[in-house]
């Protein structure tokens, strides 16, 4: 084995999100950023996903300010974000002008690489984001949500990759959110994709949930993958990514060049060890999320979806129904045309499976999200959906067969945001925060204003 493979470090986003629901504060990692800037990473994933929501909802941080601070401390490293296509960072489709402005502001504040995916791999829902990224001179990485089903074949994935390349994406990422990709699947997929794409770089993103990740990543490297996602070792494993240092050592010994600085990546790990311990001791990081659980190989369920189901059943004092709910997931997924179990579809399928089990009857109660799914508001399903269930939901109606943005428009989101916030909004970034998460953003802005007024009153008192 003799080639070069680059590393994307995930500790600031996906590792943090997967292990502890994105609760790591900026102040925890601020001091190590200049050191990370010397590590030699291909990129550092530091934004997007759930970071935006978590900053506003739980950490009382401005997500845009966090990004600007990271950018200032890491001037030599490409900063990367995960973006849900037309969904941006949330669970609904936004209008094109919102998507375009969001990309513009993200690029202006420091993002270099935009990893863009659609939960259904309906590429109509990522086209606007792609064009906006290219217009801002940044790197667009087209992402395929990987899953296994009777309709998801190597040939299908290769065809998807060809479509993404034809659309103009700079790199192609296979996103194995449940960590279920086997070494054999990785070999056939990567070889097929590389043969079809030529020089277009291919990225592999996986999770260690099932224990498969290290074997899968090594086989992917042998098969020609160009970039791999890893996490600093103390925040690796379990529902996170495989360890940066471990794969560095394994690949370097096999003659694969990584571009990483061994001393620096070890220093990064030493820095984060006490931070991890702090979050374990205060209960934020549950050690069970760092364990290996091979059940996902059977049910194709990502770790975050499992923990969400457990939390919901615990709240309803019905944890004894967990195994039944797990067993119900494949049936619901089949009825929905085998969607990949990634946000928001993982939550939708999991919640419907739980409802079916608790009520003792399939689809006695159908969630609003599932109804919207059958109406076509999330895109086209990978395979035909249940005709009986579609009839039950739509009657004689037909699902929307167009990009949902093209089917409705109810006024400017920016005008509405300005009217709602008034002088609470101080920038375009504030307006965008409100459009994405109105309740959380407004509460944050009010708290920010009150805090500043208290500081002024305290200062005046001190002077007097």
Q: Please tell me the predicted confidence (pLDDT) of residue 231.
A: 98
In the listed set 287, 316, 351, which residue is the last one of a domain according to the structure? 287
The reply to whether 37 falls in a domain is: yes
Are 77 and 129 in a shared domain?
yes
Q: Please tell me the predicted confidence (pLDDT) of residue 15.
A: 94
Mean pLDDT across 146-175: 94
| CATH number of the domain to which 168 belongs | 3.20.20.70
Q: Is the pLDDT of residue 2 over 60?
A: no
| Of 427, 403, 432, nearest in space to 416 by CA | 432
Mean pLDDT across 364-368: 94
Are 257 and 348 in a shared domain?
no
Q: Please tell me the predicted confidence (pLDDT) of residue 218.
A: 97
Are 374 and 419 in a shared domain?
no
Are 17 and 148 in a shared domain?
yes
Q: Please tell me the predicted confidence (pLDDT) of residue 404.
A: 59
The reply to whether 21 falls in a domain is: yes
The reply to whether 300 falls in a domain is: yes
In the listed set 385, 404, 423, which residue is the last one of a domain according to the structure? 404
Higher-pLDDT residue of 105 and 347 is 105
Mean pLDDT across 196-217: 95
Q: Which of 151-155, 342-346, 455-459 has the lowest mean pLDDT?
A: 455-459
Q: How does DSSP classify residue 366?
A: -
Are 299 and 277 in a shared domain?
no
Are 351 and 444 in a shared domain?
no
Token pair, residue 339, equals: 């969607």
Return the C-alpha torsion angle 193, 194, 197, 201, nearest 10.
110
Q: Please tell me the predicted confidence (pLDDT) of residue 451.
A: 87
Q: Please tell me the predicted confidence (pLDDT) of residue 456.
A: 63
Q: Is the pLDDT of residue 161 over 70?
A: yes
The reply to whether 1 falls in a domain is: no
Place of tokens 């500790």: 11
Which residues make beta-bridge pairs with 203?
A: 173, 227
Are 372 and 260 in a shared domain?
no
DSSP 319-354: GGGHHHHHHHHHHHHHHTT-----TTHHHHHHHHHH
In the listed set 287, 314, 339, which residue is the last one of a domain according to the structure? 287
Model-level pTM? 0.92
pLDDT in tens, 291-346: 888 877 887 777 667 767 777 788 889 989 988 998 999 999 999 999 998 878 88
Could you give the angle at the alpha carbon of 407 between the alpha carbons of 405 and 410, nearest 5°?
80
Angle between helix 345-359 and helix 322-335 axes, rounded to 10 deg = 120
Q: Grade residue 452 by pLDDT with cuts at 50, 70 and 90.
A: confident
Q: Which of 225-239, 346-360, 405-419 has the lowest mean pLDDT?
A: 405-419
Q: What is the Rg, in whole angstroms, of the alpha carbon atoms belonging to the chain? A: 22
Percent of the chain with pLDDT over 90: 76
Q: Which of 277-286, 395-404, 426-435 holds the top average pLDDT?
A: 426-435
Structural contact between residues 400 and 376, judged by C-beta atoms closer than 8 angstroms: yes
Are 386 and 427 in a shared domain?
no
Q: Please tell me the predicted confidence (pLDDT) of residue 109.
A: 98
Mean pLDDT across 148-158: 92
Structural contact between residues 290 and 15, judged by C-beta atoms closer than 8 angstroms: no
Domain that holds residue 356: 295-404
Q: Please tell me the predicted confidence (pLDDT) of residue 460.
A: 60
pLDDT in tens, 21-66: 899 999 999 999 999 999 999 999 999 999 999 999 999 999 999 9
Query: Helices marked H in 136-261 — which ranges?
Result: 154-167, 183-197, 213-222, 244-253
Q: Which of 100-109, 125-134, 402-411 has the lowest mean pLDDT?
A: 402-411
Q: Please tell me the predicted confidence (pLDDT) of residue 54.
A: 94
The reply to whether 162 falls in a domain is: yes
Mean pLDDT across 280-292: 86
Are 69 and 144 in a shared domain?
yes
SS3 label, residue 12? coil
Are 325 and 353 in a shared domain?
yes
Estimate to the nearest angstrom the gap between the alpha carbon of 278 and the chain centroid.
25
Q: Grade residue 462 by pLDDT with cuts at 50, 70 and 90.
A: low
The reply to whether 179 falls in a domain is: yes
Q: Please tell me the predicted confidence (pLDDT) of residue 314.
A: 80
| CATH number of the domain to which 333 belongs | 1.10.472.90
Q: Is the pLDDT of residue 410 over 70?
A: no
Are 152 and 222 in a shared domain?
yes
Q: Please tell me the predicted confidence (pLDDT) of residue 293.
A: 83
DSSP 227-266: EEEEB-GGG-STTSPPBHHHHHHHHHHTT-B----HHHHH
Higher-pLDDT residue of 214 and 327 is 214
Q: Is the pLDDT of residue 112 over 60?
A: yes
The reply to whether 189 falls in a domain is: yes
SS3 label, residue 306? helix
Q: Please tell me the predicted confidence (pLDDT) of residue 237.
A: 95
Q: Say how many domains are in the chain.
A: 3
Q: Please tell me the predicted confidence (pLDDT) of residue 313.
A: 85
pLDDT in tens, 414-449: 999 999 999 999 999 999 999 999 999 999 999 999
Higher-pLDDT residue of 229 and 461 is 229
Q: Please tell me the predicted confidence (pLDDT) of residue 159.
A: 95
Q: Which of 181-185, 230-234, 318-322 has the lowest mean pLDDT?
A: 318-322
The reply to whether 265 falls in a domain is: yes
What's the mean per-residue pLDDT of the chain? 92
Structural contact between residues 432 and 102, judged by C-beta atoms closer than 8 angstroms: yes
Q: Please tell me the predicted confidence (pLDDT) of residue 398.
A: 86
Q: Please tell me the predicted confidence (pLDDT) of residue 454.
A: 80
Are 417 and 396 in a shared domain?
no
């Amino acid at each position: 084995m003799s080639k070069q493979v680059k590393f994307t470090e995930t500790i600031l986003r996906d590792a943090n999100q997967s292990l502890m629901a994105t609760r790591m504060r900026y102040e925890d990692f601020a001091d190590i950023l200049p050191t990370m800037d010397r590590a030699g990473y291909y990129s550092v994933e530091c934004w997007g996903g759930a970071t935006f929501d978590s900053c506003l909802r739980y950490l009382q941080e401005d997500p845009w300010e966090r990004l600007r601070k990271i950018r200032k401390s890491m001037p030599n490293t490409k900063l990367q974000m995960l973006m849900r296509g037309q969904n941006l960072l949330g669970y609904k489709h936004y209008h094109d002008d919102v998507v375009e402005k969001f990309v513009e502001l993200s690029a202006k504040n420091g993002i270099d690489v935009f990893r863009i995916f659609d939960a259904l791999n309906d590429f109509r829902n990522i086209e606007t984001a792609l064009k906006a990224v290219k217009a801002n001179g940044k790197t667009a990485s087209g992402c395929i949500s990987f899953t296994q089903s009777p309709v998801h074949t190597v040939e299908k994935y290769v065809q998807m990759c060809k479509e993404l390349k034809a659309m103009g994406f700079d790199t192609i990422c296979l996103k194995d959110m449940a960590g279920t990709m086997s070494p054999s699947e990785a070999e056939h997929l990567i070889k097929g994709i590389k043969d079809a794409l030529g020089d277009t770089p291919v990225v592999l993103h996986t999770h260690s949930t099932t224990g498969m990740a290290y074997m899968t990543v090594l086989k992917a490297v042998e098969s020609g993958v160009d970039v791999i996602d890893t996490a600093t070792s103390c925040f690796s494993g379990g529902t996170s990514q495989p360890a940066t240092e471990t794969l560095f050592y394994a690949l370097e010994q096999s003659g694969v060049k990584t571009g990483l600085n061994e001393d620096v990546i070890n220093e990064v790990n030493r820095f984060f060890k006490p931070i991890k311990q702090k979050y374990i001791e205060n209960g934020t990081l549950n050690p069970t999320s760092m364990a290996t659980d091979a059940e996902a190989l059977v049910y194709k369920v990502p770790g975050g979806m499992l923990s969400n189901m457990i939390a919901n059943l615990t709240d309803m004092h019905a944890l004894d129904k967990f195994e039944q709910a797990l067993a119900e997931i494949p049936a619901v997924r089949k009825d929905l045309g085998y969607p990949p179990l990634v946000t928001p579809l993982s939550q939708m399928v999991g919640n419907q499976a739980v409802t079916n089990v608790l009520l003792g009857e399939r689809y006695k109660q159908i969630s609003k999200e599932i109804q919207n799914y059958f109406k076509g508001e999330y895109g086209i399903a990978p395979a035909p959906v249940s005709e009986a269930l579609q009839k039950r939901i739509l009657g004689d109606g037909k699902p929307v067969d167009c990009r949902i943005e093209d089917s409705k428009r109810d006024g400017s989101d920016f005008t509405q945001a300005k009217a709602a916030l008034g002088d609470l909004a101080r920038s375009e970034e504030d307006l965008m925060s409100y459009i994405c998460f109105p309740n959380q953003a407004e509460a944050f802005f009010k708290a920010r204003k009150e805090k500043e007024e208290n500081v002024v009153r305290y200062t005046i008192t001190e002077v007097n």
